[in-house]
Amino acid sequence: MKIGLIGHRGAGKTTIFNMLTGLRAQVGGFGGKEEVHLGVIKVPDARIGKLSQIYKPKKTTYAEIRFTDFPPTQGEDNLKSNNTVVSQMREVDAIALVIGDFEADAKPLKDLNDLLTEMILADLTVVENRRSRLKKEKARPLEENLLERCSIALENEESLRNLAFNPDEEGLLAGFGFLSRKPLLVLLNQPEGKAGQALDAAYLKELKRRGLDGLALAAKAETEIAQLDEADRATFLKEIGIDEPARDRFIRASYSLLDLISFFTAGDDEVRAWTITQGTVARKAAGKIHSDIERGFIRAEVIAYEDFIVLGSEAKCKEAGKLRLEGKDYVVKDADIAHFRFAV
């Protein structure tokens, strides 16, 4: 999964990037040209740890999230649709929109509206370019009607994520990577004094009104703590009133926002977590591992994680009737331990 950090200059994007990844990319220092920062994290999952203890595999593999910390785009920091940074933004699966709320004169609601509008305008440019090209080509009524609908919404300053599309339309839209259609999580970056506090009710209400989810964090304080030795971390977090590090809250919120779940594969060679969307059927899930397994899918042998932990081994699960044989259309559940049988 790829998540992009987007926001105004000085909002705390790079600070948050460092907090999430444990890297030390340069914060502040806005003199020169800022770079795109890339980082990968393993998604902490205690269940993988437990499976590893039992299977003692050669290799343990956690799910991953890839972060891109985008610089504000050139000029007055506006998103320009032909900008190379914006085209990279179009490739992420979800956007974390960073809003600075730690200075006395912060205007978090204005910043939010400005950023949403910029994304809408960037999308509108793409829609209009495509529409004028289509006028010169042979008629494609489905796409033309679809883009007209998008254009009207965007002209009304409405994000495309608020529109409903049928599967054919989804297919047509997929290639555009519209920013205003990407799942979006607002990260409100608060001062240390507000560390551990939930998102302000009034702000949350404004987000909900726009159909968005948000998370409050105190990035600077949390980044400093995240860079301490593990032993000291919990003490400091407690001192400033934080129960759970923002990194963990962020990961949980992202999974929920994107409707993601994990299934596991487990054996002597490897215990591994795989990320899929809720509602993915067994055959598609198998394709995450290898396209051959999807193509030659025969069946899935599935044990629920909870059953496995209670009974302690695959053999015991089989005895107790807890190993299920499932077909290609079985909807995989969170924490299913799956073996796929296939032939190519």
> Please, what is the minimum distance in Å from the beta carbon of residue 104 to Mg ion?
21
Per CB under 6 A, the list member of 122, 153, 219, 260 interacting with ligand GDP is 219
| Distance, CA of 34 to CA of 21 (rounded, Å) | 18
Applying the rule CB under 6 A, the residues between 22 and 61 that interact with ligand GDP are 27-28
Under the binding rule (CB under 6 A), the answer on residue 11 touching ligand GDP is yes
| Structural element, H or E, at residue 248 | helix 246-257
- Rounded least distance, CB 14 to ligand GDP, Å: 3
Interface residues for Mg ion in 13-52 (CB under 5 A)?
A: 13-14
Instruction: Select 72 or 214, whichever has its Cβ closest to Mg ion.
Output: 72
Q: Please, is 223 exposed, middle or buried when counting C-beta atoms within 10 Å of its C-beta (0-12, 13-18, 19+)?
A: buried
Q: Does 12 help bind ligand GDP (rule: CB under 6 A)? A: yes
Which residue, 102 or 250, is less far from ligand GDP as judged by CB? 102
Strand-pair category, 213-217 with 184-189: parallel
Cα 46 vs. chain centroid, distance in angstroms?
Answer: 20
108 touches ligand GDP (CB under 6 A): no
The span of 10-18, 127-135, 265-273, 316-324 binding ligand GDP (CB under 6 A) equals 10-18
- H/E run at residue 277: strand 270-277
Nearer to ligand GDP by Cβ, of 169 and 224: the residue is 224
- Enumerate residues 174-193 that contact ligand GDP by CB under 6 A: 189, 191
State in angstroms the smallest separation of the CB of 101 from ligand GDP. 8
With tokens 């008629």, the residue in question is 139
Which one of 3, 4, 14, 274 is in contact with ligand GDP (CB under 6 A)? 14
User: Residue 289 contacts by C-beta under 8 Å, 6 or more apart in sequence?
Assistant: 265, 274, 340
Decide: 280 and 289 in contact? Cβ < 8 Å. no
Going from the C-alpha of 214 to that of each of 32, 56, 207, 210, 267, the distances in angstroms are: 31, 39, 7, 11, 38
C-alpha distances out from residue 146 to 124, 131, 151, 165, 301, Å: 13, 10, 9, 9, 42
Among positive and negative, which fits the CA dihedral 62, 181, 250, 224? Answer: positive
Q: Which residue has the CB atom at the shortest distance from Mg ion?
A: 14
- Looking at residues 123 to 162 of the shown chain, list those that interact with ligand GDP (rule: CB under 6 A): none
Contact between 73 and Mg ion by CB under 5 A: the answer reads no
* 102 interacts with, out of Mg ion, ligand GDP, none, CB within 5 to 8 A per kind: ligand GDP
Minimum gap (Å) between residue 276 Cβ and ligand GDP: 32
Q: Which two tokens stand for residue 315?
A: 């053999």
Closest Cα partner for 308 from 254, 252, 266? 266
Q: Which of 47, 181, 194, 220 binds ligand GDP (CB under 6 A)?
A: 220
Whichever of 191 and 296 has its CB closer to ligand GDP, that residue is 191
Residue 74 Cβ vs ligand GDP, minimum distance, rounded to whole Å: 14
Which residue number, 19 or 335, has a Cβ lying nearer to ligand GDP?
19
| For ligand GDP, the closer CB: 53 or 197 | 197
Length of the chain (residues)? 344
Token digits of residue 235: 């003490």
- Give the nearer residue to Mg ion in terms of CB position, either 14 or 73: 14
CB of 159 to Mg ion, least distance (A): 24
Does position 21 bind ligand GDP by CB under 6 A?
A: no
Longest dimension (CA), the chain: 67
Q: For residues 14 and 36, what is the distance between their CA atoms, to the nearest angstrom?
A: 10
For residue 301, which of 264, 343, 262 has the smallest C-alpha distance? Answer: 264
**Residue from the set 3, 6, 13, 73 that interacts with ligand GDP by CB under 6 A:** 13
Contacts with ligand GDP, residue ranges (CB under 6 A): 7, 9-15, 27-28, 98, 102, 189, 191, 218-220
